[in-house]
Structure 1
Amino acid sequence: MNISHAGLILILFFLLITYIISAYEKINGWKSTQENFKLMYAKTLIGKAIIPIITFIIAFEIIIVTLAALGIWDIIYAEDFEIARSTFLGSSILCLIFLIGLRMIDDYKGASRVGIYFLVSIFGLYWLESIISIA
């Protein structure tokens, strides 16, 4: 492992921890998660499709967690960055989905907090791309 890859691994760990806790909380508190989302999105176009949307988000989070773990493994043992790239792209897309949802309900504070996670994902992608272009 090259020491320059430690930063990418730390960002991947950050995303892994973030999304695994998020998915766990949604699954563990399934009833309250449903109620909260139904209440928040009741006056929007997606108000009637909350359960499939929550299920999609949980599945997407689990995919990102899996990709992050595999990406860490691949960077350490094979110095391969393709799975890490998919992790950063998936995380960025999920953040954009969250941003759209939060803007629909005029939760600007929540949207700004999601922006931080988006920036972390984009920074990881940028860093990865710069490593690949140098190699």
Structure 2
Amino acid sequence: MNYFTTYIAEILILIFILITFLQSGIDKAMDWKGNTGWLKEHFANTFLANQVPLMVGILMIIEVITGILAILGIIWFIAYGESSFGLYACVLAAITLLMLLFGQRVAKDYAGAFTITGYFVVVIFGVYIMS
């Protein structure tokens, strides 16, 4: 348990990633129709309009994998003081956020794109301290 206090910042970042991405991935799975419907409208006037179900599916899978990696990262930090799974979770979270940022910018939802910045700062800090 000595590792818990040693790596508390890393563990808190991974808990943040876990809550953010696993909840989002599960929500997409549980409310597929609602999510795809809203996003079809969101991207209606863009070149991504016909790709919404594929994009939501890819994001859902990546978000769930990111959440699972965050769980493994937390366990590995507490049990072994080892950062590899935590780093993988942070990197995959950063890639996911860049994908979301791209979509928001294409849809000209600049306020939505700006919101992603706060998440990205936390995740990049995680990449920095875990690498």
Normalised to the residue count of structure 2, the TM-score between the two structures is 0.94
Q: Deviation above 6 Å: which 4+ runs of structure 1? A: none
Partner residue, 1:126: 128
**What CA distance in whole angstroms lies between the structure 2 residues aligned with 1:46 and 1:84?**
32
> Whole-Å Cα distance in 2 between the matches of residues 76 and 17 of structure 1?
18
Aligned to 1:11: 13
C-alpha deviation, 1:69, in angstroms: 0.3
Deviation string, structure 1 residues 29-48 (Cα, Å, up to 9, x no partner): 21111111111111111111
Letter in 1 for 2:56: I
Give how far 1:53 is off. Answer: 0.8
Tell me by how many angstroms 1:126 deviates.
Answer: 1.2
What are structure 2's unaligned runs of at least 5 residues?
none
Of 46, 49, 55, which aligns to 1:53? 55
Letter in 1 for 2:92: G
TM-score (norm 1): 0.91
5 Å matches for 1:27-106? 27-106=29-108
Q: Name which structure has the greater RCO, CA cutoff 8 Å, separation 6+.
A: 2
Q: Are the counterparts in 1 of residues 42 and 107 from structure 2 also a CA contact under 8 Å?
A: yes
Paired positions, count: 129
Assess if the C-alpha contact under 8 Å between 2:26 and 2:64 holds in 1: no
Aligned-pair distance for 1:2? 5.4
> Alpha-carbon deviation of 1:3?
2.2
Tell me how far apart the structure 1 counterparts of residues 89 and 27 of structure 2 sit (CA, whole Å).
21
1:88 counterpart letter in structure 2 = C
CA RMSD of aligned residues (A): 1.1
* SS class of match (1:44): coil
Identity of aligned residues (%): 30
CA distance in 1, matches of 2:106, 2:56: 16
What letter corresponds to residue 71 of structure 2 in structure 1? A
After superposition, what is the alpha-carbon deviation per residue over 1:41-94, rounded to whole angstroms, capped at 9, x for unaligned? 111111111111100000000010010000111111111111111111100110
Contact 2:4 2:77 survives alignment (8 Å): no
